[in-house]
Amino acid sequence: MLEIGLVGLGTIARAQHLPAIAANPGMQLAAIASRNARLDGVASYPDLAALLAAEPAIAAISLCTPPQGRFDLAMAALQAGRHLMLEKPPGATLSEIGALQDAAQARGLTLFATWHSREAAAVEAARAWLSGKTLSSVTIEWREDVRKWHPGQEWIWKAGGLGVFDPGINALSILTALVPDVVLLRADLHIPQGRETPIAADLHLSAQGVPITATFDWRLAKDEIWRIRFETDQGTLMLDDGGAQASIDGTVLHSGENREYTRLYARFAQLVAAGQSDVDLAPLRLVADAFLIGTHHSTHPFTP
Amino acid sequence: MLEIGLVGLGTIARAQHLPAIAANPGMQLAAIASRNARLDGVASYPDLAALLAAEPAIAAISLCTPPQGRFDLAMAALQAGRHLMLEKPPGATLSEIGALQDAAQARGLTLFATWHSREAAAVEAARAWLSGKTLSSVTIEWREDVRKWHPGQEWIWKAGGLGVFDPGINALSILTALVPDVVLLRADLHIPQGRETPIAADLHLSAQGVPITATFDWRLAKDEIWRIRFETDQGTLMLDDGGAQASIDGTVLHSGENREYTRLYARFAQLVAAGQSDVDLAPLRLVADAFLIGTHHSTHPFTP
């Protein structure tokens, strides 16, 4: 039985992490750490340091806090000898994840940087269908309403908060799981006046010569869309609803129940049992590249 | 004898690459590619494609062109089966270097991403002196006059041109060669009105808890300085003149002739002979992190 300590009890933790841990027969939620929240029947601590000090038997920590400030928590968990699972993105910077990898390796601990969208219902079917076909282009459209998904959250607009790349990195995580050698060629970042992160971004990418475009937009109030369109020599694959549905030239290939977090925790248990880590930086690397070479455009002020 | 084709015949190529190749007895400059320049006694081509087509016997290419646009050249050289040496920074983005690594590995070719400042005269002595001592802080000051070093160059101010990180990355390459697990905590980027890249940057970093600050500034007309100060439990190590001189509490530890490029080409020949690659992304990763989480500050317009 793998005992888990969960840190951060926000929306994503309650909606996804708690049910997924409860559904895993080899896993037990042994404690939580949260400044404000408590959970009936589970040991609750105000912060990770208190949890680590009081619960030496908890072998693994799962972090669901925002990326800013997550590094210190992650390093504390590893230094206390605990396996570690990280929500996406695995850190605020690439360099901090490098340091976490070194710390985990030095202690023989599992570090698992999760990308939940890679576990979406139809991603595996899409991979199988694309295999052996010749890709001619990829078009990503990821448009949603920031007011709906991040009501009142200020951290997303601060430097390091990623802005529209917070959802967009999910698309990039699917893309890099299905297509090798994705390279960023150009990025246009649309940043509301007075904010530090983009509300929309247009990317031009390439994978071994195949053109890829991505449009991320947080300003859509209706008809949200999370779609990746793959044009091939044998038809068009459409991955919709963030990877939940795949169709070929309009005919459904695969559609299924969302089991993303159930699969992530199953994989975490496997990694711990095998003494392995899984840290793929490709999605965050593309986001860092977009900030590195991106052209900034000032747009209308955003009112929450 | 390793035959080299040199691409780009700007200031750095003439001042550093040509003499270093000439000084290496196991190496021969077999051709150059340059839109405007020619070199007496050496086959000259208008671009890399012409060089590759006409010179199948040239085993290795050295790229000295600016980072923007370098990716297509680098990929063309690898796809033509040539070993490849890259000036710093090795690319405009991290993702493109990942694709180059894959291409080199797939073809059994050497890819060498150089960081010339790591070969500065006193860096090795500094590493030896730091070994076994306890670091308490590191302070980097890298101040120079952009008008002197980049007269009339517009690319440094365009998105992807790195701005003051063009020299600053040299400091970061020395730092990451001497100190493990350097993590970026905060960055302030000072960007002249109407430009896209910073003229100055202040970084707060950390290496296993040791505080590191870095100040990069392109606005200094006199008394330029390229200094890294290491405070330890056994005294202060000062690395000056971009790594050329090391002193301990004011007493010179090491000072020597600049042989950076001679050492780089010797290393390139070794890597080719051994069938190995050497690509350390740590310096560029820190720069990408600085753009990723950096706070932008608008400063006075820059007049060349």
Encode burial over B159-176: b for 16+ CB neighbours within 10 A, e otherwise: bbbbbbbbbbbbbbbbbb
CA distance B285 to chain A (A): 7
Q: Which pair of structure tokens corresponds to residue B129?
A: 């002196």
> In what side-by-side order are the strands of the sheet with B235-240?
B251-255, B245-248, B235-240, B225-232, B135-143, B210-217, B200-207, B182-192, B295-299
Shortest CA distance to A211 belongs to which of A282, A135, A123?
Answer: A135
A181 vs B contacts (CB less than 8 Å): 98-99, 102-103
CB contact under 8 A, A292 and B293: no
Dihedral sign for Cα B135, B211, B91, B107, please. Answer: positive
Residues B75-105: tens digit of each pLDDT: 999 999 999 999 999 999 999 999 999 999 9
A180 vs B contacts (CB less than 8 Å): 102
Residue-level pLDDT at B154: 87
pTM of the model: 0.96
Burial class (CB in 10 A: 0-12, 13-18, 19+), B296: middle
Shortest CA distance to A5 belongs to which of A89, A91, A74, A92?
Answer: A74
Q: Name the residue among A102, A208, A286 with its Cβ closest to that of B181.
A: A102
Residue-level pLDDT at B255: 87
Tell me phi and psi for residue B148, to 5 degrees: -80, -40
CB contact under 8 A, B291 and A292: yes
Residues A94-111: tens digit of each pLDDT: 999 999 999 999 999 999
- CB interface of B with A, residues 276-295, below 8 Å: 282, 285-289, 291-295
Residue-level pLDDT at A5: 98
B212 vs A contacts (CB less than 8 Å): none
**Beta carbons within 8 Å of A101's beta carbon, 6+ residues apart:** A111, A277, A279
Residues B68, B160 contacting (CB under 8 angstroms): yes
Residue-level pLDDT at A11: 85
Residues B133-185: tens digit of each pLDDT: 999 999 999 999 999 999 888 889 998 889 999 999 999 999 999 999 999 99
* Residues of A identified as active-site: 88
CB contact under 8 A, B94 and A94: yes
CB contact under 8 A, B291 and A291: yes
Residue-level pLDDT at A216: 98
Question: How far, in Å, CA of A93 to CA of A69, rounded?
Answer: 11
- Mean pLDDT computed over A51-72: 93
Residue-level pLDDT at A67: 76
Rounded to the nearest 10°, the torsion over CA A150, A89, B212, B118 is -140
Question: How far, in Å, CA of A208 to CA of A171, rounded?
Answer: 19
Q: Name the residue among B92, B99, B285 with its Cβ closest to that of A293.
A: B92
B160 vs A contacts (CB less than 8 Å): 292-293
CA distance B180 to chain A (A): 8
Residue-level pLDDT at A68: 76
Confidence band of A153 (pLDDT split at 50, 70, 90): confident
Q: Which pair of structure tokens corresponds to residue B168?
A: 């600053």
Question: How far, in Å, CA of A110 to CA of A59, rounded?
Answer: 10
CB contact under 8 A, A95 and B159: no
Q: Give Cα separations from A272 to A68, A77, A267, A276, B270 (angstroms).
A: 26, 15, 9, 6, 40
Residue-level pLDDT at B222: 86
| SS3 call for B24 | coil
CB contact under 8 A, B99 and A181: yes
- Mean pLDDT computed over A149-170: 92
Shortest CA distance to B96 belongs to which of B173, B160, B49?
Answer: B160
A163 vs B contacts (CB less than 8 Å): none
Question: How far, in Å, CA of B214 to CA of B164, rounded?
Answer: 12
CA distance B179 to chain A (A): 12
List of domains in chain B: 2-113 (3.40.50.720), 121-256+288-299 (3.30.360.10)
CA distance A54 to chain B (A): 24
Please give the single-letter amino acid code of residue B67: P
Q: Name the residue among B96, B102, B182 with its Cβ closest to that of A95.
A: B182
| SS3 call for A267 | helix
Cis peptide before B89 (omega within 30 of 0): yes
CA–CA–CA angle A23, A29, A30 (5° rounding) = 155
A to B CB pairs, distance under 8 Å: 98
Q: Which of B88, B133, B148, B222 is catalytic?
A: B88
Element at A286 (helix H, strand E): helix A282-293
- Choose the mutation target among A101, A111, A183 for the interface with B, i.e. most B CBs under 10 Å: A183
